[in-house]
Chains A and B, each alone.
Chain A
Amino acid sequence: MVILDGVEKRFGGRLVLAPTTLTVGARTSLALLGPSGCGKSTLLRLVLGLLTPDAGSLSVAGVRVTAATATSVRRRIGYVIQEGGLFPHLTARDNVALLARHLGWRPPRVAERLEELAVLVRLEPAMLERYPVELSGGERQRVGIMRALMLDPPLLLLDEPMGALDPMVRARLQEDLKRIFADLEKTVIFVTHSLEEAAFLGDEVVLMRDGRVIQRGTMHDLETAADPFTREFVDVQRGGHAHRAAPGLDA
């Protein structure tokens, strides 16, 4: 579904993504995991064509992403960011329906799809008439997911979708997302810095650091890895202490 072939990105000379080759098969859910600034969000933005690679090429569903194809590729991708990225001047309903209306959907079809999606993401229909500032963080995120799913795209990209939510809301949304991913059989790439979230939602995990892929595999692969960074990352996230490579630190 998504193929990166030697994709490299620099910001003003600084390497943010080292040449990366990565294939994500259809209907799998891949977690991009790693500390802040490791290049995981950059990778998503490259797939969307928001950034242009300095080297290499990438394709989505068999279409190479270029300036010319970017718009049509984007319409086959649902993108969700922290807080949902909703437009504050539009109601939740208008946010979700924006692109469908732009593409000329008839109003009954739009309304029907909205109803369907509200049930799917478990959002009270009355909330659709509200403006984003009138919604809670969790509700905004659910509306953001509805907007991403509106055209029923085969690929979903989520950039720290739960980043701004408190733990209770986060747990409920995680469960709903897992159900949605399974029900709809989408290909999903999501960015997170939480091992637990990656384990819960991802079929596979890619661990990144300083613009490089350190490890790719299942959760089990990660836990049994020999690589010192991977082990340290896993240990810290598990709530334990960092892997004690240097005994001197004990003192």
Chain B
Amino acid sequence: MRTFPAACLAALAVLLWIAPCAAADESGPLRVGSKRFTESYILAEIAAQVAREAGDVPVSHEQGLGGTAVVFRALEEGSIDVYPEYTGTLAEAVLHTAGRRDLASLRSALAARGIAMSDPLGFDNTYALAVSAGLAARRHLATISDLAGAPDLRLGLSPEFLGRSDGFPALAERYGLSTGHVEPMDHGLAYEALSRGSIDVADAYSTDAKIARYGLKVLADDRRFFPSYEAVFLYRAGAARRAPRAIAAIRALSGTIDADEIGRLNAEAEIDGRTFSSIAQEFLRSRDGGAPIGATLRQGRAPLWPGMLSVIRAEGPTHVMLVAIASFLATLVGVPLGIFSRWERRVGRVVIGATSVVQTIPALALLCFFIPLLGTGTRPALLALFVYALLPIVRNTVAGLDAIPSPLRESAIALGLGPWTRLFRIELPLASGTILAGIRTSTVISVGAATLAAFIGAGGFGAPITTGLNLDDTNLILEGAIPAALLALAVEGLFTILDRVLIPRGLRLRPVVAESR
């Protein structure tokens, strides 16, 4: 009986450990962040390598943390120290200062938030609209103006481009485009959809390697709508004090990467399947006048099985840890919550309602929801997985207790057992099958949901999946997806064993037809 309050206390303690915000940390390694697309990975990797070479602090690269809002937030609150950004994005999406686009005014607006900005790196990665070359020829499409005459075309646009005030709505107005066939679509998937013909037009970045690969044509911005998106590095002012040589080395990258260069680097990652670190390393070597080491570092797309084994070794422990901790906490909190929900029906309805609402939130949105509170990485991922795992456990606990036949419930009362004894000796054992089934469902869901944790930088089997989506590398996606599926099967197996251990034997026996005695 004493175990129940003790378990609640333990759960509370662990929650309190997760809860404190990832406080702005002005010591420790220099953390370079990146967004979830190739160019951002490469630029961040280049910055990380020159910073490492500068040698004043250890450097880490937090890859693919998320979209603009997530990564800028991470920089602001100190989860990362440096990341590559674009001036146009900063002006519109981050600072909301539509009128002031010159570097000086951006700098002063950023300085007010404790953030500094390097000089432009030397290329402009602006938005563009792309169509397949075949379609362009058939329909005589050369400029964005030509789209106004083809309102039947289907547009697959990234949610960010659709939502920004200088994005699609303004573009459509300027060019008089039809907005009838517009579909939001993740950037990583749009090219594939374009080449399969399920959409006709997609938004693209002008330096994108895939434009050539998929045989796409960029429509000319004949009315000069798109603003300039010059690449820069943003860094925390505190980081410049803490690692002055590293930041100086990053600032020295200004003006050294032109549009052709970045297009080539992007293609090496996306088409040749080379690692970001080897691309960055080779770029830095050739810039410093050394001979390109090409052949020695060049690696084609890795074969699936060896790649998968290394993913299991590298990401398996993280993934299992995320699922195990989240499910364990969800059980520790969910079962008592279910018991309480049954005792206090009114509270119970609120609890079930709240957990149901949480369940309707897409897992990815839930993950991002906790970023402002907890930063990026493991803590928000654990919290999101924990909240997500609650519903099946609470529901099944309530259902399992409800399903106890009332004669048995009354027998226990009539015997003169107190409420706690009834709960632990009678009701929970009788409901154990249903409760365990809930924990099993919840854990299997967590195995899947945890692959999304990589989107906010928590690692796990989602890490190769996110990268694979960005690089359109099916092998890479499978390297994460197959281990995740295997883990789900292993969880099923584990629970089959747990059922045997935890469900009382009397409940697992089949009734025997005994002769009359």
Interface positions of A (Cβ within 8 A of B): 45, 48, 50, 71-72, 74-75, 77, 79, 81-83, 85-91, 98-99, 102, 131-139, 147, 166, 168-169
Contact = CB atoms under 8 A, between A and B. Distances in A.
Contacts of B412: 87
Given A79-B411, A85-B411, A98 B512 contact: no
Given A45-B410, A74-B415, A90 B506 contact: yes
B300 interface: no
B413 A136 contact: no
B108 to A, nearest CB: 71
A88 B506 contact: yes
B413 A74 contact: yes
B512 A134 contact: yes
How many residues of B sit at the interface, in one of the four size bands? Answer: 20 to 34
Contact of A77 (B414, B504, B507, B517): B414
B517 A136 contact: yes
17 contacts: A48-B413, A50-B414, A79-B414, A81-B407, A81-B410, A81-B411, A83-B407, A87-B411, A87-B412, A87-B506, A98-B415, A99-B417, A102-B417, A131-B506, A134-B509, A136-B514, A139-B514
Q: Nearest 6 CB-CB pairs, A to B?
A: A89-B504, A85-B411, A131-B506, A74-B416, A136-B514, A75-B416
Contacts of A50: 410, 413-414
A137 B412 CA distance: 20
B408 interface: yes
A75 B416 CA distance: 5
A89 B414 CA distance: 18
Contacts of B516: 136-138, 166, 168-169
Interface string B416-440: 1110010001100110100000000
Contacts of B432: 89
B506 A132 contact: yes
Contacts of A98: 415, 417, 425
Contacts of A81: 407, 410-411
Contacts of B417: 98-99, 102
B407 A87 contact: no
Contact of B430 (A74, A88, A136, A147): A88
B306 interface: no
B408 A133 contact: no
B224 interface: no
A89 B511 CA distance: 13
B502 to A, nearest CB: 11
A85 B432 CA distance: 19
A71 B416 contact: yes
A85 B414 CA distance: 11
Contacts of B510: 133
Contacts of B511: 133
Contacts of A132: 506
A88 B507 contact: yes
Contact of B509 (A71, A74, A133, A166): A133
Indicate the member of B411, B413, B417 with the most A CB atoms within 10 Å. Answer: B411
